[in-house]
Chain A
Amino acid sequence: MERDTHFILGVYDDEDVLLHAVEKVRGSGVKIHEVYSPYPVHGLEHALGYKRSKLPIAAFLFGMLGTSLALTMQFYMMKFDWPMIIGGKNYAAFPDFVPVSFEMTVLLAAFGMVGVFLITSNLKPWAQPRIFDVRSTDDKHIMAIDLANNTSLKEDKIKSILTSSGATEVNRKSFE
C-alpha cells in the first residue's frame, strides 16, 4: 500500500539515557519524528532542537485585535449609533471604555491563543491520534523515526544506531 507510513521506534527506560540518545541519534544524521514520554522531560525540547513557539506573537496580535474591536464598538455605539449621556460625561468618555477594552483584549488573546494552539498542534476533534506504543503513557520513553524522512539511511542502520544509543527495544510500526 502506497500511503502507508512506516516508523522505527526506540524504547528507552531512563530519561538521562534518552536525552543523550536524542543527541547521539541526531548527531548520526537521523531525523527524529517525535519523542513520546509519560511525563515532561526537562531539556528534551532543547535536545530535539525545537525552536521557541511563536504562540506569544499570535496572542499579542489577537489581543490587539480585541482592543481595537472593543474601542471601535464602544466609540461607534456611544458616539454615533445611540448617543446617551451617562453620569454627565461626554458621549465618548474614554475612561469608561477601558474596562471593556481590557476584557475584550484578554478574551480574544485567550481564545485566539487556544485556537491557534489547537490548529497548529493538529488537535481538531476529528483527528485520529497515532498510538505508537501504549507504554509511553506508563513507564517508557518512545522515540519515533519516520522512514520517509530518512531515505538516505538503511533501516538496519537506523536500528543499530538506536540500539547503540541505549534503546532497550527497537520496534517497527506501520500506519495505514
Chain B
Amino acid sequence: MAHHSEHHYNLEQRFDFSASIKKSILTVLGLGAVLLGIGIVLSITGGHHEEAGAAGGHAFHWYERVYANLWINNVFFTGIAIIGVFFFAIQYAAQAGWSAPLVRVMLSFGNWLPYAAVLMIGTFFVVNHDLFHWTHSYLFDKNDPQYDQIIDGKGAFFYWPMEKGTFPAFYIGRMIIFFGFWVFFFTKFKQFSQQEDLLGGTSHWFKIRSWAAFFLVFFAVSSSVSAWDWVMSIDTHWFSTLFGWYVFASWFVSGLSALTLLVLFLKGRGYLEMVNENHVHDLGKFVFGFSVFWTYLFFSQFLLIYYANIPEESVYFVERLSSDVYGPFIFVNLGLNFFLPFLVLMTRDAKRHGVFLKLVCSLLLVGHWIDFTLMVQPGTLGHNGGIGLVEVGMFLVYGSAVALVVLGGLAKSNLIAKNHPMLEESYHHHI
C-alpha cells in the first residue's frame, strides 16, 4: 500500500498462560485419561485377548494396543514439534519477511522435543518385542526354525556394531543422535533469537540463517531415516523408497495445521495484532499446498505398488484395504487429508477467514493422526486394532500434554522477536 502510516504495535507482549487456559487443557487431559482408563478396562474384561493372533501365532494382550498407541502418538507429536523448528529454519534460510512476527510461535513447538526424546526412547525399551518384529533374536539364528533370511540381511541396520539379535545399538544410537541434534539446534535458535531481543542489529539474524542451513541438511537426512526406523521398520519385510518423504509430508501438514491453529488462537485472544488476514492467507496456502503434496506421495506410493502387483510389496496395502478394521479408514484418510482441504481451502476467502481454517486444520490434525494409526497398527496389532476409546483417550492425553509444554515455553519470552530485521517488511505484507 502507498500509505506510509506509522505503526505502533506493542512488541513487548507476552503470552499470559493463565490459570483458566491451563484448567481447560487439564480438563481435556483428564477426559482423555478417563477415556483411556475405560478403554483399557473394557479391553481387559471384554476383549479378545484370549484368542490366538492369526498372523503372529501368539496370544494378543490388551497392553499391546496401549503400546501401539503410545508409539503412534510419540511419532505424531514428535513430528509436530520438529516441524515447528524446521519451519522456523526455512523462514531464515529463505530470508522470508512475511513471517517475521510468527517465528517465535513456530519455534515454541520445539519445546516438546526433550519430552518426546525421553518418551520415545523409554517407550522403545518397554514395547520392543510387542511392536517391533525385528527385535526377536531367533530371526537371526540360522539354526532356529523361525530364522528369517530377509530380516537377517537387514540386521546390520539395527544392530551394528553389535551381534545381530542382541542390543540394537545402531538403531538406539540413531534415535539419540537425531533427538540430540534436534534439541541442540532448537536450543541454539532460541538462544540467538532471545539475544537479538536484547542486543538488536542484524548479526543474530545472519547467525540463525547459517545455523538454519546446517539444520536443514541434517533434518533432510534425519527425518527420512527416522521415518524408516520408527515407522517402516514395523513392517520389517516391506519397504518403500519414498516412505521418508511420506512421513515427512504427514508431519509437515500436521505441523502447519497446528501452527495455524495456534496463531488463530493467539490472535483470538488479542495477541499478534500485526498479523492480519494476509499472513493468515499465507499459512492457509501452506496447509492447502502441502495437503496436495501429501496426496501426491500417498498416491505415488499406492499406484506403483498396485500396478506392479509384486506380492512382497502389495502385502502392505492388502493388509489395510482388505481388512474390516482398517479398510474404511483408508478412505477416511483420503477424505480428511485430501478432499476436505482441497475443496474447502481452494478459494481465497476460505484461506483468509479463521472459521474455515480452524475447521480444516482441526480435522487435518485428526486426519494425519489417523494416517499414522494406519501406518503403525496393522503391522503391530493385526485385526485387533481399530479406533476406539483407548485411541481417542491416548490422543487427548498426548495432545493436551503437548499443548501444556508448548504454551508454557511460549509464555517464557516475548511473543514477537522485536528486533527481527524484517518486521517492517512484514507489516506491509499484502497479497
0/1 interface trace, chain A 62-80, chain B, CB 8 Å (1 if under):
0000000000000000000
The answer to whether A88 and B309 have CB atoms under 8 Å apart is: yes
B360 to chain A, nearest CB (A): 18
Given contacts A42-B430, A43-B2, contact A98 B303 (CB under 8 A): yes
Contacts of B430 in A (CB 8 A): 42-43
Interface membership of A125, Cβ < 8 A:
no
Alpha-carbon distance between A16 and B2 when the two chains are bound, in angstroms: 6
| Interface residue total, chain A, C-beta cutoff 8 A | 15
What number of A-B contacts does a CB cutoff of 8 Å give? 27
Q: Which positions 332-380 of chain B face chain A at CB distance < 8 Å?
A: 346-348
Alpha-carbon distance between A31 and B2 when the two chains are bound, in angstroms: 22
Contacts of A29 in B (CB 8 A): none
Alpha-carbon distance between A54 and B299 when the two chains are bound, in angstroms: 31
Alpha-carbon distance between A87 and B303 when the two chains are bound, in angstroms: 13
Interface membership of B306, Cβ < 8 A:
yes
Given contacts A56-B347, A60-B346, contact A87 B2 (CB under 8 A): no
Interface membership of A99, Cβ < 8 A:
yes
Interface membership of B94, Cβ < 8 A:
no
Interface membership of B1, Cβ < 8 A:
yes
Q: How large is the interface on B (under 10, 10 to 19, 20 to 34, 35 or more residues)?
A: 10 to 19
**CB contact between A87 and one of B1, B309, B347 (< 8 Å): that residue:** B309
The answer to whether A95 and B303 have CB atoms under 8 Å apart is: yes
Interface membership of B302, Cβ < 8 A:
yes
Contacts of B306 in A (CB 8 A): 95
Alpha-carbon distance between A43 and B346 when the two chains are bound, in angstroms: 24
The answer to whether A19 and B307 have CB atoms under 8 Å apart is: no
Alpha-carbon distance between A43 and B430 when the two chains are bound, in angstroms: 9
The answer to whether B2 and A99 have CB atoms under 8 Å apart is: no
Contacts of B2 in A (CB 8 A): 15-16, 19-20, 42-43
Alpha-carbon distance between A15 and B4 when the two chains are bound, in angstroms: 13
0/1 interface trace, chain B 292-319, chain A, CB 8 Å (1 if under):
0000000100110011110000000000
B151 to chain A, nearest CB (A): 29
Alpha-carbon distance between A32 and B308 when the two chains are bound, in angstroms: 62
0/1 interface trace, chain B 399-431, chain A, CB 8 Å (1 if under):
000000000000000000000000000000010
Q: Which positions 38-68 of chain A face chain B at CB distance < 8 Å?
A: 42-43, 52, 56, 60
**CB contact between B307 and one of A43, A56, A87 (< 8 Å): that residue:** A87
Residue of B whose beta carbon sits closest to that of A60: B346
Q: Which positions 1-23 of chain A face chain B at CB distance < 8 Å?
A: 15-16, 19-20
**CB contact between A42 and one of B1, B302, B308, B348 (< 8 Å): that residue:** B1
Interface membership of A96, Cβ < 8 A:
yes
The answer to whether A43 and B1 have CB atoms under 8 Å apart is: yes
0/1 interface trace, chain A 82-101, chain B, CB 8 Å (1 if under):
00000110000001101100
Contacts of B303 in A (CB 8 A): 95-96, 98-99
A139 to chain B, nearest CB (A): 18
A172 to chain B, nearest CB (A): 28
Residue of A whose beta carbon sits closest to that of B306: A95
Residue of A whose beta carbon sits closest to that of B349: A52
B330 to chain A, nearest CB (A): 12
0/1 interface trace, chain B 92-129, chain A, CB 8 Å (1 if under):
00000000000000000000000000000000000000
Alpha-carbon distance between A60 and B308 when the two chains are bound, in angstroms: 33
Alpha-carbon distance between A52 and B349 when the two chains are bound, in angstroms: 11
Alpha-carbon distance between A43 and B2 when the two chains are bound, in angstroms: 7
Residue of A whose beta carbon sits closest to that of B428: A42
**CB contact between A96 and one of B1, B307, B308, B347 (< 8 Å): that residue:** B307
Chain B residues with CB under 8 Å of chain A are 1-2, 299, 302-303, 306-309, 346-348, 430
Chain A residues with CB under 8 Å of chain B are 15-16, 19-20, 42-43, 52, 56, 60, 87-88, 95-96, 98-99
Beyond the given A20-B2, A60-B346, please list 20 additional residue pairs across the A-B interface where CB-CB is below 8 A.
A16-B2, A19-B2, A42-B1, A42-B430, A43-B2, A43-B430, A52-B348, A56-B348, A87-B307, A87-B308, A87-B309, A88-B309, A95-B302, A95-B303, A95-B306, A95-B307, A96-B303, A98-B299, A98-B303, A99-B303
Q: Would you list the 5 A-B pairs with minimal beta carbon distance, nearest first? A: A19-B2, A43-B1, A43-B2, A16-B2, A95-B306
